[in-house]
Amino acid sequence: MNERTIAERITFHDAIETMEVDFSHLTMADTVQVDAFYDEVENRLADTGRRWYFLVVYTDCVIQAQAWERFAERGKGANVAHGLGTVRVGATSQTRDAIREHAGRASFRANIYDTREQAIVALGEMRKRRRDAQTAAEETFLRVENVSLRFGGVKAITEISFEIKRGEISAIIGPNGAGKSSMLNVINGVYRPQEGTVTYLGHPRHQMETHEAAAQGIARTFQNIALFKGMSVLDNLMTGRNLKMKCNFLQQALYWGSAQREELAHRKKVEEIIDFLEIEHIRKTPVGRLPYGLQKRVELGRALAAEPILLLLDEPMAGMNVEEKQDMCRFILDVNDQFGTTILLIEHDMGVVMDISDFVVVLDHGQKIAEGTPNEVRTDPVVIRAYLGTTH
Ligand SMILES: Nc1ncnc2c1ncn2[C@@H]1O[C@H](COP(=O)(O)OP(=O)(O)OP(=O)(O)O)[C@@H](O)[C@H]1O
Ligand SMILES: [Mg+2]
């Protein structure tokens, strides 16, 4: 009989960020025993001041019925307080079933393996997934570096750099002809800059194709509304789903049923957006018959139908009255809030920009003259001279 102490059954493997707990050949007869073991485990974990993966060995361990509830509860407690993930080895089929049953109830994964080697391989994969997720969280969302764009002799953009953070609302402002629309066109691949790099979701590229940009979750609205004027609001919004449609024409002909199901799913999504933008009453109206402010809202809807990660809005409030502007502001804030969409917008109305933006980039004559929070930018003398001095 192996009479190791509880302390001897706990091993920390620093190199793989793992604490191994060895329950092998133990019988857990009651809650007192369970508590004694887990108190030791929790104390040792707490002493390290960090989280660990758990490798739990159950070979020939017996947990008696009256101890199960407490055993499961303490295991879960340790995991919540100190764990990064758990793999289990060598449980008897009875213990396995009990673990699986508990896992089902508490909605965590059982992760039981036959051998220690298999469990350690699984641990490696678990650690890699977590590392990848961390890298994704830290990666650059959108960075523009030294971008220059010329049309013949016209310098639309000269060596502009800035960075947009995921989840924020950012604004590009500046006088007419400053290069604002051109900048959006570079970001979504309509214009190809002669120099510079655009890094999106961690991938730097010199040039982006428009279909790539769309496939990677970039949607936009235009300074001059780009909708099908003769088509209804609903149909215009459906065009925003194009990229998401898996069935092509041939498939539609061959697999009519699945195409129909897909169409229904897309309609549902579009109806949600119609609801969200409060345009139910005009869903069947041809867009051309709508007042300008509503057309702008429909265009926002078309962009939202693509379920974008990054939404580019080129003067979404231009030509609107005060009330329409307030509505549009609210929708932009709600999109950001409810869908987590990152937004980069161009706007002339300084008041609006200051109200809703986290970050502002100021362009003038194709160059960046300032960037910062709305307050920093508003009080910058260079900005006041270049931008506020003009008649916008
Ligand atoms: N396709 C093009 N061909 C030639 N010149 C262009 C083109 N697009 C933009 N430009 C020029 O590039 C410069 C920047 O234009 P851009 O439209 O980016 O400015 P903007 O800041 O959006 O201005 P606005 O406030 O008037 O919309 C301008 O001088 C414009 O004439
Ligand atoms: Mg413009």
The answer to whether residues 18 and 49 touch, using CB atoms and an 8 Å cutoff, is no
Which residue in this structure is represented by tokens 């509880």? 6
Q: Does one domain contain both 206 and 316?
A: yes
What integer is the mean pLDDT of 4-25?
93
**Ligand 1, CB cutoff 6 Å, lining residues:** 151, 154, 156, 174, 176-182, 223
- What pLDDT, on a 0 to 100 scale, did the predictor assign at position 138? 72
From the CA of 338, how far away is ligand 2's center (Å)? 28
Q: Does one domain contain both 128 and 142?
A: no
- What pLDDT, on a 0 to 100 scale, did the predictor assign at position 106? 56
Q: What is the mean pLDDT of the chain?
A: 87
Q: Does one domain contain both 273 and 367?
A: yes
From the CA of 177, how far away is ligand 1's center (Å)? 5
- What pLDDT, on a 0 to 100 scale, did the predictor assign at position 391? 47
- What pLDDT, on a 0 to 100 scale, did the predictor assign at position 305? 93
Q: Does one domain contain both 369 and 232?
A: yes
- What pLDDT, on a 0 to 100 scale, did the predictor assign at position 284? 95
Q: Please report, rounded to a whole number, the percentage of residues in the chain having pLDDT higher than 90.
A: 53
Q: Which of 137, 159, 180 is the last residue in one of the domains?
A: 137
Residue 251 has pLDDT above 60, yes or no: no
- What pLDDT, on a 0 to 100 scale, did the predictor assign at position 266? 83
Q: Tell me the CATH number at 198.
A: 3.40.50.300
pLDDT one-digit tens code per residue, 76-93: 889 888 988 889 898 777
Asked if the structure places residue 202 within a domain, the reply is yes
Q: Please report, rounded to a whole number, the percentage of residues in the chain having pLDDT higher than 70.
A: 90
The protein residue whose alpha carbon is closest to atom 13 in ligand 1 is 156
Q: Does one domain contain both 48 and 132?
A: yes
d(CA 12, CA 152): 66
- What pLDDT, on a 0 to 100 scale, did the predictor assign at position 108? 53
Q: 53 pairs with which residues across the strands? A: 18, 85
Q: Which of 105, 122, 137 is the last residue in one of the domains?
A: 137
Higher-pLDDT residue of 388 and 178 is: 178
Q: Which of 104, 137, 170 is the last residue in one of the domains?
A: 137
One-letter amino acid of 44: R
Which atom of ligand 1 has the smallest separation from the CA of 175? 25
Our measurement of the distance from residue 309's CA atom to the centroid of its chain's CA atoms, rounded to an integer in Å, reads 7
The model's pTM is 0.67
Q: Does one domain contain both 110 and 220?
A: no
Q: Does one domain contain both 181 and 266?
A: yes
- What pLDDT, on a 0 to 100 scale, did the predictor assign at position 388? 60
d(CA 66, CA 291): 72
Domains of the chain: total: 2
- Most ligand 1 atoms within 8 A of CB, residue of 150, 180, 362 to mutate: 180
pLDDT one-digit tens code per residue, 171-210: 999 989 999 999 999 999 999 999 999 999 888 888 778 8
Residue 331 has pLDDT above 60, yes or no: yes
Residue 8 has pLDDT above 50, yes or no: yes
pLDDT one-digit tens code per residue, 93-140: 777 777 767 666 654 556 788 889 999 999 998 888 888 777 776 778
What integer is the mean pLDDT of 155-177?
94
- What pLDDT, on a 0 to 100 scale, did the predictor assign at position 105? 60
Residue 258 has pLDDT above 80, yes or no: no
Domain carrying residue 27? 7-137
Q: Does one domain contain both 262 and 277?
A: yes
Name the phi and psi angles at 177, rounded to 5: 75, 10
Asked if the structure places residue 22 within a domain, the reply is yes
pLDDT one-digit tens code per residue, 263-310: 778 888 899 999 999 999 999 999 999 998 999 999 999 999 999 999
